[in-house]
């Protein structure tokens, strides 16, 4: 499915799963491409969301930072509107079924297909001194995350498309051998105009990412209003001074996508609003819309981080709820494979 989903009544009980790595404060890309949609999906689906700490150690992490980033990521998900009373919200390493399921799926994943993953190729080039086995088998852990919950839809940004395809292949292969053990999931990727891929403000040919070599290219959802305005004012555009999207206008198209998400206006309305105005006005308007949109999230985040006992209660409960579901699938996998019942 290629759009932000609107669930028909009949899909009410279907399961949504998605996850985010705790590698620092979420970027505007994470928020627009993924987390923002996770919130609305709660109305129509049984949603399961997790902080993917197991995935994050494929790149070396400082232990103290990983610990604090994990709690912060959990609080940020809640601050973005994910509700632990309506959805299951947990931390990946708190449910051992993910690691166990991943081992099994490793044995049903081919070396050749893992070698073709662009993320593996990119990350092994970037971290050439630590090309570990986890970096290589990362997609089978992701497949376990998804398949353990009999997930129907996985809301992610465009960059995760290939991982979703391999998950479907693994599920199909396992089902082909043992019968229908897994639901074969589909990706939910927003339309390009709705932020499937938010680009760096300093280099609109690159995805916005925390690892952007130029920090001005990346806005995080906890950035102060002043910093947000500054980053938008210095965003790279083009020399044409016309607010419109299309080839050669990647910078402006990216800003239009962001503005559209925060104001609800479509591209035609944005072009009309800024007809005859300069880029300065437009960039200021985008910055202001983002500051305004993020303000309630920032406020809620501060409140949540001041109540660690509540966060702890939520993530413990979430892990238990997750385990109650994933255990059923894992047991089925073990039985089908022929492991002797313990
Ligand atoms: P991660 O942590 O890199 O990103 C979390 C989500 O944010 C989306 N995203 C973006 N969307 C639009 N524009 C951008 N610039 C941008 N940057 C990031 C990502 O597509 C993603 O949806 N492997 C996953 C985490 C994961 C997972 C899973 C996801 C682990 N297990 C199971 C789905 C299902 C990752 O590293 O996402």
Which residues make Cβ contacts (< 8 Å) with residue 78, sequence separation at least 6? 84, 89, 300, 304, 311, 314
Our mutation pick for probing the ligand 1 site, out of 22, 24, 30, counting the most ligand atoms within 8 A of Cβ, is: 30
For the record, the structure tokens of 297 come out as 């999230």
Q: How far is CA 154 from CA 58, 173, 247, in A?
A: 22, 19, 30
The reply to whether 207 belongs to the active site is yes
Q: Is any atom of ligand 1 closer than 6 Å to the C-beta of 159?
A: yes
Residue count (the chain): 342
Flag the least confident range among 43-52, 103-112, 194-203. Answer: 194-203
Q: Look at 196 and 44; give whichever has higher pLDDT.
A: 44
Arithmetic mean of pLDDT, 229-246: 93
Q: Is any atom of ligand 1 closer than 6 Å to the C-beta of 34?
A: yes
Pick the catalytic residue: 207, 231, 249, 283? 207
Q: Is any atom of ligand 1 closer than 6 Å to the C-beta of 198?
A: yes
Give the containing element (helix H, strand E) for 187.
strand 186-188
Arithmetic mean of pLDDT, 252-273: 95
Arithmetic mean of pLDDT, 26-41: 95
% pLDDT > 70, the chain: 96
Query: How many of the other CB atoms lie within 10 Å of CB of 179?
Result: 9
Q: How far, in Å, CA of 36 to CA of 237, rounded?
A: 26
Q: Look at 290 and 245; give whichever has higher pLDDT.
A: 290
Which residues make Cβ contacts (< 8 Å) with residue 173, sequence separation at least 6? 108
Which residues make Cβ contacts (< 8 Å) with residue 206, sequence separation at least 6? 199, 200, 212, 217
Query: How many of the other CB atoms lie within 10 Å of CB of 138?
Result: 22
How far apart are the CA of 71 and the centre of ligand 1, in A? 18
Q: How confident is the model at residue 237 (pLDDT cuts 50, 70, 90)?
A: very high
- Tell the residue nearest (CA) to atom 16 of ligand 1: 29
- Tell the residue nearest (CA) to atom 1 of ligand 1: 20
Pick the catalytic residue: 14, 121, 123, 231? 123
Q: Look at 7 and 118; give whichever has higher pLDDT.
A: 118
Flag the least confident range among 107-116, 243-252, 328-337. Answer: 243-252
Q: Is any atom of ligand 1 closer than 6 Å to the C-beta of 207?
A: yes
Residue 111 clears pLDDT 80, i.e. is over it? yes
Cα-only R_g, the chain: 21
- Tell the residue nearest (CA) to atom 20 of ligand 1: 157
Q: How far, in Å, CA of 101 to CA of 105, rounded?
A: 6
Residue 79 clears pLDDT 80, i.e. is over it? yes
Given this model, what pLDDT does residue 13 score? 82
Q: How open is the CA angle 312-300-153, to the nearest 5 degrees?
A: 70
pLDDT tens figures, 45-74: 999 999 999 999 999 999 999 999 999 999
Q: How far, in Å, CA of 161 to CA of 330, rounded?
A: 25
In the numeric block, the tokens 């238990």 are attached to: 320
Residues 233/279, Cβ–Cβ less than 8 Å? no
Residue 149 clears pLDDT 60, i.e. is over it? yes
Q: Is any atom of ligand 1 closer than 6 Å to the C-beta of 229?
A: no
Q: How far, in Å, CA of 245 to CA of 265, rounded?
A: 14
How far apart are the CA of 58 and the centre of ligand 1, in A? 15
User: What are the start-end ranges of the H helices in the chain?
Assistant: 28-30, 36-41, 53-56, 63-79, 97-106, 111-115, 118-126, 133-147, 161-178, 225-233, 250-263, 267-273, 279-305, 308-337
Residue 12 clears pLDDT 70, i.e. is over it? no
- Tell the residue nearest (CA) to atom 31 of ligand 1: 142
For the record, the structure tokens of 327 come out as 């255990």
Q: How confident is the model at residue 191 (pLDDT cuts 50, 70, 90)?
A: confident
How far apart are the CA of 331 and the centre of ligand 1, in A? 28
How far apart are the CA of 18 and the centre of ligand 1, in A? 8
Backbone angles phi, psi at 207, to 5 degrees: -65, 140
Residue 252 clears pLDDT 70, i.e. is over it? yes
Residue 17 clears pLDDT 60, i.e. is over it? yes
pLDDT tens figures, 202-212: 999 999 998 88
Given this model, what pLDDT does residue 302 score? 98
Pick the catalytic residue: 14, 210, 216, 265? 210
Q: 16 in helix, strand or coil?
A: strand
For the record, the structure tokens of 332 come out as 């089925």
The reply to whether 123 belongs to the active site is yes
Given this model, what pLDDT does residue 9 score? 53
Arithmetic mean of pLDDT, 252-268: 95
pLDDT tens figures, 296-307: 999 999 999 999
């Amino acid at each position: 499915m290629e759009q932000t989903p609107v669930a028909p009544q009949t899909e009410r009980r279907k399961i949504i799963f998605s996850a985010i790595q705790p590698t620092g404060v979420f970027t505007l890309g994470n928020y627009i491409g993924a987390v923002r949609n996770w919130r609305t999906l709660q109305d129509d689906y049984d949603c399961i969301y997790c902080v993917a700490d197991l995935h994050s150690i494929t790149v070396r992490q400082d232990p103290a930072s990983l610990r604090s980033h994990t709690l912060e990521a959990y609080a940020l998900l809640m601050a973005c509107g994910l509700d632990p009373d309506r959805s299951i919200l947990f931390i990946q390493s708190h449910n051992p079924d993910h690691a166990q399921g991943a081992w099994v799926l490793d044995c049903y994943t081919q070396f050749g297909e893992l070698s073709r993953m662009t993320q593996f190729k990119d990350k092994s080039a970037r971290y050439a001194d630590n090309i570990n086995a986890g970096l290589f088998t990362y997609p089978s852990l992701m497949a376990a995350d998804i398949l353990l919950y009999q997930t129907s839809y996985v809301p992610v940004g465009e960059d995760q498309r290939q991982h979703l395809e391999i998950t479907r292949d693994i599920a199909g292969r396992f089902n082909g051998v043992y019968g229908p053990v897994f639901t074969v999931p589909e990706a939910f990727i927003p339309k390009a105009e709705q932020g499937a891929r938010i680009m760096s403000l300093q280099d609109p040919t690159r995805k916005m990412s925390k690892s952007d070599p130029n920090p001005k290219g990346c806005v995080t959802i906890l950035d102060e209003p002043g910093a947000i305005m500054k980053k938008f004012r210095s965003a790279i555009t083009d020399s044409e001074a016309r607010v419109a999207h299309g080839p050669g206008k990647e910078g402006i198209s990216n800003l239009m996508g962001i503005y559209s998400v925060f104001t609800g206006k479509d591209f035609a309305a944005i072009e009309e609003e800024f007809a005859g105005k300069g880029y300065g006005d437009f960039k200021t308007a985008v910055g202001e819309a983002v500051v305004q949109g993020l303000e309630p999230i920032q406020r809620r985040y501060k409140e949540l981080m001041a109540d660690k006992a509540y966060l702890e209660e939520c993530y413990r409960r979430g892990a238990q709820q997750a385990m109650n579901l994933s255990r059923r699938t894992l047991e089925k996998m073990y039985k089908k494979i022929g492991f002797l019942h313990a």
